[in-house]
Every structure is written in structure tokens, then in C-alpha cells.
Structure 1
């Protein structure tokens, strides 16, 4: 989780990722941020994130992002 928070902080240092549970819904992460994040996650965790996985509920909180990464690592 710590490495994920570091990646997120590099993309958007102005956002409190630990407390915000509506990152996409509130507009804290926009589509450009998501595209950047997907690339970073793929590199950092050696996973493939398909287009069907790029939905708001997978990126709305740190917990949701980590759950996505964990699920894809297990596949």
C-alpha cells in the first residue's frame, strides 16, 4: 500500500489519498491522471490493466486501487 501511495503522490501531490474515498467522483483524479496511474501501476506491479478495468469504482479510493492491483496480480 505504501508504494501505491507514493505513486499517487507523485501524480497528484495536492490530494489526500488516505482520507478521500471519492477520488474519481469528486474530480480529484481526472482522465489524464487515470491514464498516467494505469501506466505507473502496470510498471510497478507487473500487471496488465485492460480497458474494461478502467472504471470509476476501481479508482475511487486507495483501497479500490489496491484491490484491483491485488486481483490482477492473482490472475
Structure 2
């Protein structure tokens, strides 16, 4: 989880990722941020984020992203 927080801080260090639970819904992360994030997550965690995974529910919170990362690592 620490690595995920580091990646998120690189994208925007002004957001309290551990507190926010609606990162997409509240507009903290936009489409360009998500594209950068997907690339960083794929490289950092050796996973492939497929189009089916690109839904707000998977990116609205750190917990949701972490759950997605763990699921994709198990599936690979």
C-alpha cells in the first residue's frame, strides 16, 4: 500500500488519498490523471489494467485501487 501512496503522491501531492473516498466522483482525479496512474500502477506492480477495470469504482479510493491491484496480481 505504501508504494501505491507514493505513486499517487507523484500524480498530485495535494490530495489526502487516505482520507478521500470519492476521488473520481469529486473530480480529484481526472482522465489525464487516471491515464498516468494506470501506467504507473502497471509498471510499479507488474499488472495489466484492462479496459473492463477502468471504472470509477476501482479508482475512487486508495482501498479500491489496492483491492484491484491485489486482484490483478492474483489473476496473473
**In which range does the TM-score fall when normalised by the shorter chain?**
over 0.9
Q: Distance in 2 between matches of 1:38 and 1:23?
A: 15
Please name the residue that 2:22 is paired with. Answer: 22
1:22 Cα offset (Å) = 0.3
**Cα-to-partner distance string for 1:5-58 (whole Å, 9 max, x where unaligned):** 000000011111010000000000001000100000000000000011000000
Question: TM-score normalised to the size of structure 2?
Answer: 0.97
CA-atom RMSD, angstroms?
0.4
Q: TM-score, normalised by structure 1?
A: 0.98
Structure 1, unaligned runs of 5 or more:
none
**Misfit runs of 4+, over 2 Å:** none
Aligned partner of 2:74 in structure 1 is 74
Question: Residue 16 of structure 2 aligns to a residue in which SS?
Answer: coil
